[in-house]
Structure 1
Amino acid sequence: MVADRLLLSCPISQFLNPPDGGRILVNAESSESQLDTTMQSVKVVVVGAGVVGLSTAVCIAETLPHCSVTVISERFTPDTTSDGAAGILFASQFPDIPLEQQQRWFKESFDHLLAIAQSSKSGETGVILSSGCQVFKEVPADKRPFWAEHVLGFRFLSDRELKRFPDHKFGQAFTTIKCECTTYLPWLEKRFGKAGGKILNGKVSDLQRLADTYDVIVNCSGLGAHSLVGDAKMHPIRGQILKFHAPWVKNFVRDGDGHTYIYPGVNSVTLGGTRQAGDWRLEVDVGDREGILERCFRLEPALHGGKVVGKWVGLRPGRESPRVEVEWLRTAGGQEVPLVHNYGHGGFGVTLAWGTALDALGLVRQSLLQHPPMAKL
């Protein structure tokens, strides 16, 4: 356990009225700076403690230091979906999110992690630079994706380099970032604690009940949003990976179809994978295991001589596009409480976490400015 967590052995409702409570009355015409200085009684709760939830909690706690920020989650590291993530910064394009916004999300996340990778915190966090290539069996329509300008040294593979991949016709080489969430998440928890954040270990099944105690609710529940807010667009994308001992393999290789990848990390190489939409199975599938090994060995023959040292199965929070927006809940007393959503990142949680966290922070701040919380009567 990397931080002091309050384990809820009784219903979470018993913790929804802390003795230091009380909402404050803030003049709607107050400036942002005035709001910052009187925010010590404003209570923010973040639901979810994966990479998206903790990133969001840190951004809020550090930017609005006079707020009281609490994270509530049923699972924490090392038991989150994020802990099993390959953790390579690589983006896909979402259909109904403006491209400019997607670029910003990627750039903000990349720049945040790049600063860590180039600092003395790299070893502690497990955030490292990683160089390699992505190869395609057919030439893609978009040879230079929108994220190309944000990674380091993006270029096309030469004909000589492509000879290494006889089944492929086109390739891209670049340096990106690998983020090992098994060490990065504990570090985020510590950073959150230093910013005054509080952590509660418990299951939230009704956001409406939180509205009776907290002034702002931030929903980072991932796949849990399927039941928590009734989001029918949410679905599981089953992912199975292997951890492989092959320390001589230094560079990543990813097939452009997204199903086969080799990502060297700090202590092992991640081999993947599967993307099985609608599949809720959490058991290791032997057929998937053999398929991963066969495909990865064909893509990177240098893996021969290594051995499997671990396996993992998780459910990515699938959604056509991430949901980052605000809606309002009404309490029994008639007060309106902002509910900020930040979930549905699919397999790109690590890639987009910091960028969407900053957007969620903006929505929290805007909500408090436009609709200041009312004092309890």
Structure 2
Amino acid sequence: MKTVRVAVVGAGVVGFSTAICIAEALPICSVTLLAEKFSPDTTSDVAAGMVLAEVFPDIPLERQRRWFKNGFDHLLDIAQSEHAPEAGVMLSSGCQIFKEVPAEMKPFWSDTVIGFRNMTDRELKRFPNHKFGQAFTTLKCECSTYLPWLQKRFRKAGGRVEQRKVNSLHELSNNFDIIVNCTGVGSRTLVGDNQVHPIRGQVLKMEAPWLKHFIRDGDGMSYIYPGIHSVTVGGTRQVGDSRLQADEGDSKSILERCSKLEPSLRRAKVLHKPVGLRPGRRSPRVEKELVELKGRQVPVVHNYGHGGWGVSFAWGTALDALGLVRQCLHEMPLQAKL
């Protein structure tokens, strides 16, 4: 059997996770990952990397539960291994608090994280503007460390990496048999998906080594996530906004909101103010299609549109994308495989 040439486009957490799943599981495939930007210049690098989730409206809940569990278990294995410091993956305990009692008091992922429970009145006393809270242990993944570690793992599995901008799938049709699209916001232009749009996220990386527990407001707008080297304090969720420079007004607003939750932040030093564009979409697109490229039908597997939940769902959707690549292999004409 001849080698099947697979291109994975996109070097964020979804792209590298997908490329590794294919390279490690399918020795018949020669996998090349292509991207214009690599760590530290990807959207994933700005992400706080907390493993949490919200519900996507168009994906069956069972499938989302599986994505989340696969992602959680994958990162938990790393966090509990000798690779944890090099991969930048750690366990993180804390709370999610709500100004009003949410309709869904037990999120679909509550059975997957560790020790999920409702907070006591005594614990909530600390947050007088909030009426309800949940305490649990989850994972935090520092993507600026995790992405280079994934790249190393991908190369070890025989994967190749190429830095170049892919403007059109037609550019890849002569050199690859299967294309896997993990381009996030870039899918708007690369495959003409107008459902995907930028959601601008600005955070502050702060020096506050005394903070050990995360706090997240249930509205998703204010959060404090202690990490290995700094504390990620956020955030913004500006739909359709593509500005990549830090905004002083946003920085002030973030600090003001989060200092109400954690007053000691007023004494913390701001290290830098990164900005990233989340790939907003009503629901992620994880599916395959046949695309006519230069007169031939080329299978394209899509895996993008995770919004702010790329780290949480990357490994889960990568395993689904691997399943779709397997289907493409089965459907290929026999002469292509010989």
**Bigger Cα displacement from structure 2, 164-173 vs 206-215:** 206-215
Larger Cα-atom Rg: 1
Change in 2 beyond 3 A, CA 1:232/1:356? same
Q: Equivalent residue for 1:162?
A: 124
The question of whether the paired residues in 1 share the 8 Å contact of 2:170 and 2:294 is answered with: no
Q: Equivalent residue for 2:205?
A: 243
Whether 1:346 aligns to 2:307 is yes
- The whole-number CA distance in structure 1 between the counterparts of 2:173 and 2:196 is 23
Change in 2 beyond 3 A, CA 1:220/1:373? farther
Q: Which runs of 4+ in 1 moved over 4 A?
A: none
- The whole-number CA distance in structure 1 between the counterparts of 2:160 and 2:245 is 33
Aligned-pair CA distance for 1:300: 1.1
Matched ranges for 1:1-377 at <5 A: 38=1, 40-334=2-296, 336-372=297-333, 374-375=335-336
CA distances 1:124-183 after superposition (whole Å, capped 9, x unpaired): 111000000000000000000000000000000001100010000000000000000001
- The whole-number CA distance in structure 2 between the counterparts of 1:314 and 1:41 is 37
Q: Secondary structure at the match of 1:97?
A: coil
Q: Name structure 1 gaps, 5 residues minimum.
A: 1-37
Q: Name structure 2 gaps, 5 residues minimum.
A: none
Aligned-pair CA distance for 1:211: 2.0
Cα RMSD after superposing both structures: 1.3
- The whole-number CA distance in structure 2 between the counterparts of 1:43 and 1:372 is 15
Aligned-pair CA distance for 1:208: 2.4
Query: Which letter maps to 1:349?
Result: G
Q: When the two structures are superposed, what TM-score results if normalisation uses the length of structure 1?
A: 0.88
- The whole-number CA distance in structure 2 between the counterparts of 1:292 and 1:329 is 44
- The whole-number CA distance in structure 2 between the counterparts of 1:132 and 1:342 is 30
Q: Secondary structure at the match of 1:189?
A: helix
CA distances 1:265-289 after superposition (whole Å, capped 9, x unpaired): 0010000000000111111111000
Aligned length: 338
- The whole-number CA distance in structure 1 between the counterparts of 2:150 and 2:167 is 25
Q: Equivalent residue for 1:11?
A: none
Query: Which letter maps to 2:110?
Result: A
The question of whether the paired residues in 2 share the 8 Å contact of 1:127 and 1:177 is answered with: yes
The question of whether the paired residues in 1 share the 8 Å contact of 2:10 and 2:33 is answered with: yes
Query: Which letter maps to 2:249?
Result: G
Aligned-pair CA distance for 1:314: 1.0
- The whole-number CA distance in structure 2 between the counterparts of 1:333 and 1:300 is 60
How many percent identity over aligned positions? 66
- The whole-number CA distance in structure 1 between the counterparts of 2:99 and 2:77 is 34
The question of whether the paired residues in 1 share the 8 Å contact of 2:114 and 2:136 is answered with: yes
Aligned-pair CA distance for 1:250: 0.3
Aligned-pair CA distance for 1:374: 4.3
Q: Secondary structure at the match of 1:330?
A: strand
CA distances 1:25-69 after superposition (whole Å, capped 9, x unpaired): xxxxxxxxxxxxx3x521000000000000000000000023100
Q: When the two structures are superposed, what TM-score results if normalisation uses the length of structure 2?
A: 0.98
Q: Secondary structure at the match of 2:307?
A: coil
- The whole-number CA distance in structure 2 between the counterparts of 1:373 and 1:43 is 15
Q: Secondary structure at the match of 2:249?
A: helix
- The whole-number CA distance in structure 2 between the counterparts of 1:161 and 1:332 is 62
Query: Which letter maps to 1:174?
Result: F
Query: Which letter maps to 1:371?
Result: M
The question of whether the paired residues in 2 share the 8 Å contact of 1:211 and 1:329 is answered with: no
Q: Secondary structure at the match of 1:69?
A: strand
Query: Which letter maps to 2:51?
Result: L
Q: Secondary structure at the match of 1:96?
A: coil
